[in-house]
Chain A
Amino acid sequence: MTTEGAKIEQGIAKGAVWFCAGLTVAILVLIVAFVFWQGLPYLRPSFFYEGPIRMGKEGGVFPFIVATAYITVIAVLVAAPLGVGTAIYLTEYTRPSRLTAVIRFGADCLAGVPSIIFGLFGFVFFVIRLKLGWSVLSGGLTLALMVLPTVIRTSEEAIRVVPRAYRDVAFGLGSTRWQMVTRVVLPSAMPGILTGIILSIGRSVSETAAVMFTAGVSLKVPILPLQSGRTLALHFYILFREGISNTNAYKTATVLILAILLINFTAYWLMRRFIAKLS
């Protein structure tokens, strides 16, 4: 190919990747801007700390913020140790075998199951079978199952890229396997593991279908784990679906997006500080 040809090719390629990146960002901005445009001008502080009046036609979303946080915390508290533990087992305590292949395949399949199916399972298993009823606990456990594959696979990936040399050093200095994992591998893999957990938090906060059948639709602030609670995303869905109030639906959506932005910014800020401390 001539130099001239290569130059033109380079120009076209550059334009194409710019276009892809630009379009992606544009779509994202468009969605967020649309929701904010519909919701932000009407958002008052009272919307955050007041309870709903007349099924949410008026008033605020305080109980739903609490329920969302409650359910997400339960989901993460269950999924993070379980998922990271599984990842440690897969990477450090076994050699590749049929069993690990089955676990990985299972995790991948689980990741592709629609959330409504998790909702159905949660309803049958946690709500009915374990008699937990419609509760933030049922909802949290269901979400934990739903995000578990994400936590496992991201943690596994993060652990796998920790240099083998670190493990050799730890063993060479007389570490047991567990000491090697906790003192060398996990600290090095922490940014990657946290990324997976943050993704899971995001999915838990915004999940609708899986909590609809499990956490219930109560309008009250859930105090105990066995009380029902309605998440922000579900509240938004109900306001829209039942035609209760479109304005309040958009306001709820705005709160939801703000919450996710806040979580992501804090998480990445924490992670950057964590990495800066190490290197």
Chain B
Amino acid sequence: MEARLRAENFSVFLHGAPILRNINLSLHLNEILGIIGPAGSGKSTFLRCLNRLNDLIPGMTHRGSIWFDSMDIYGPGVNVTELRRRIGMVYAVPVALPTTVLANVVFGPRLQGLRDPTRLREIAESSLKAAFLWDEVKDRLDDSALRLSGGQQQRLCIARAIALEPAALLLDEPCSGLDVVSTAKIEETLSVLKSRYPTILVTNNVKQASRVSDRTAFFLMGELVECDETRKFFTTPSDKRANDYVTGRFG
């Protein structure tokens, strides 16, 4: 299997205290990798290491390496801005920037210096279509994005991330604040998109991982306890703690 992202003995410390310990985990092409685990297990921290968003947190240090294709993302001379552009990220809370729908979607391409309105419109259309949002917003592109519903805003965030044609998508509990209908729409979107954008889906919802992910990883107290094919993970987990978690004995 070809890996798009690969963590190798990767540990993270906050003011010296370990948050993640020796994580070895990779994201393959054409897959959704689900990451589950209780709050505080380091799932989000791991995700935010993959595009070096944690660089912004004072006191956070790491050991080990993360490979993006053949590049060590923590290596010397890495262009972090370029890295973040190549690895799309969607957060738990849908964050529509306070501007129009269109300006939200093409925020990334515009940062790149793209100005041509026709081209920007094309990018917006294809991204919104890919996020299954186009039909709902095609007449409201110049309205404020803050007027969209929560579920629509989250799909807008996905459209905004894929407008940059990223090499991978990172989603940090993207459905945590959404109702079942919106959640279903997003899950459907992700299943279609995974062939174009290999995806890591961090979720608090064990059922969601079982529904959409191809492989599932289980984090507990900063350690990767188990990672396997989703079907196998949910039917015959080899680690007892994973079994307890997915069967609802704790968490």
Listed in ascending order, the chain A residues whose CB lies under 8 Å from chain B are 95, 163, 165-166, 168-176, 179, 183-184, 187-188, 278-279
Contact = CB atoms under 8 A, between A and B. Distances in A.
Contact of B53 (A171, A187, A279): A171
B146 A165 contact: no
A163 B98 CA distance: 11
A173 B81 CA distance: 8
A188 B107 contact: no
B82 A174 contact: yes
Contact of B98 (A170, A173, A187): A187
Helix, strand, loop or mixed for chain A's interface? helix
B89 to A, nearest CB: 4
Given A174-B81, A174-B108, A278 B99 contact: yes
Interface of B: 51, 53, 56, 58, 81-82, 84-86, 88-89, 91, 93, 95, 97-99, 107-108, 111-112, 144, 146, 157, 160-161, 164
A166 B56 contact: no
B82 to A, nearest CB: 7
Contacts of B81: 174-176
A173 B108 CA distance: 5
Given A173-B88, A173-B111, 4 more contacts: A165-B91, A171-B53, A172-B89, A174-B82
B99 A187 contact: yes
Residue of B93, B97, B99, B108 contacting most chain A CB atoms (<10 Å): B97
A174 B99 contact: no
26 contacts: A95-B58, A163-B95, A165-B91, A165-B93, A165-B95, A168-B95, A169-B91, A169-B95, A170-B97, A171-B53, A171-B84, A173-B85, A173-B88, A173-B111, A173-B160, A174-B82, A174-B112, A174-B164, A175-B81, A176-B81, A183-B111, A184-B97, A187-B99, A278-B99, A278-B144, A279-B146
